[in-house]
A and B are shown apart, each in its own frame.
Chain A
């Protein structure tokens, strides 16, 4: 190896001393790659650091490089997580789930156990978040099998981080984590062959799957302590019951026909946590391999979720999710790109009816920065409601908060259509 010739891109990687790396060895697991001066991987993320190998490499003249953190905004996925603790939690959960599946019930002790599991996760969140690396938890958990229990842990961790990063107090963080952890518990009462079925579901099967929300509520509602008192907080039961409700689409459990309330009003009356859990659930489902499709990349999943604004979820909730977690999940990179075609939504008061109407415009991203990735500079060129081409107007969304991005177009067919409009 050529010792002095450094060919690695130093604008993207920084050299790191062997003494720093030594601190990272032991039971812990790397969440970033360590490379040598020629850009070859020495240790890869997910691996634990072996001190002896480290020493040997150093004697060979290897210099160590790790990815540079360019800005301090948001969380960057580079912290070290105690893998042992995590593995123990996942194993315990698996045992507990197997038990509940057999008996169809959750005992008071099992509820206490989940509570303690979550306390452990929340504690490790606090301990690890000094430089903000909590998201690595998710990455590690993903290594386990998806279908059984990791989805629960993932959704719990996602919700927990979301609430945590909104600077909520401890109780709220724990409640969010627990609610996410238990949201799909009703699935343990549904026939596993249906849940893991790779093809399309039949009507009868679908009807059984959607029952998992009600079953979840029932399981949690019947958890009592020795005096017969119900112990599960209501909000956690509601999350289990309502996390599949949607804004405009039906969702389930099915709503009763209520003439006074539209689907949207009914959706907006749901508890905050139940609505946001729906998005966390969706995100984890998209980025995990399921029996019927490959996992989506983080960037694609975030764009997909943005495209659900004002359709499956409210624009407020979607923006809350992507704003708080968007950068950290995508390793600090904005998931919107220069040149993307987007749809903007805003509200104005109609002069004729004096009622609020929604305005939709199509624009193209002209300038985007990491800090304001949800408020880029855009060129608006089409009014969708009036079906009219506009003279290209450049707007900096940082200063125009009335307009929000609700769609980013992926299909080549639509992009070509829009390109023709631009010409």
Chain B
């Protein structure tokens, strides 16, 4: 199937607000500068762009699709792929982007997970699953590999699980030096009502600053039998 791209604004809302405020301030200063003297040099678009580029978040794209079925052969429709990709993007926004921008995971972070996983996802596994340990930073750039999408259908051909696997890298300037973060993220989703919920995960996160590496891993295992 063809590539599926979820289009979303490159700027997150806080970044857009900062840009708008900056632009307003610039315009205001320019309006008050009519003294007859040589006008102050206007803030250039280039400078605004440079500030915006300091926060660059990744938008996930589908790379490959691997359909498996316990019943009839299946095809993964673009709408299904988009829904799963959207769920993975929500995780990215809440677990990775929100902490870097605000210092805290997104308000909807816990709700992304199956209730049985929420305790570990928000506590013991949070260091691997989120960037909360990094905290709020002034700027960062991020890039993501295309997502490998796997889907499992039951004996009737209905989708029961979908998994996204992708690597994510972040480059974050900090007072202690440049922090490079690498995430290997595999999320397994299952349908929950009208959305997809994280039913399992395997995540490896490494953080390198000045040659010192810290690696954390998290893997959800079943704790209860069916």
Binding between chains A and B: no
A residues bordering B, Cβ < 8 Å? none
Chain B residues proximal to chain A, CB less than 8 Å: none
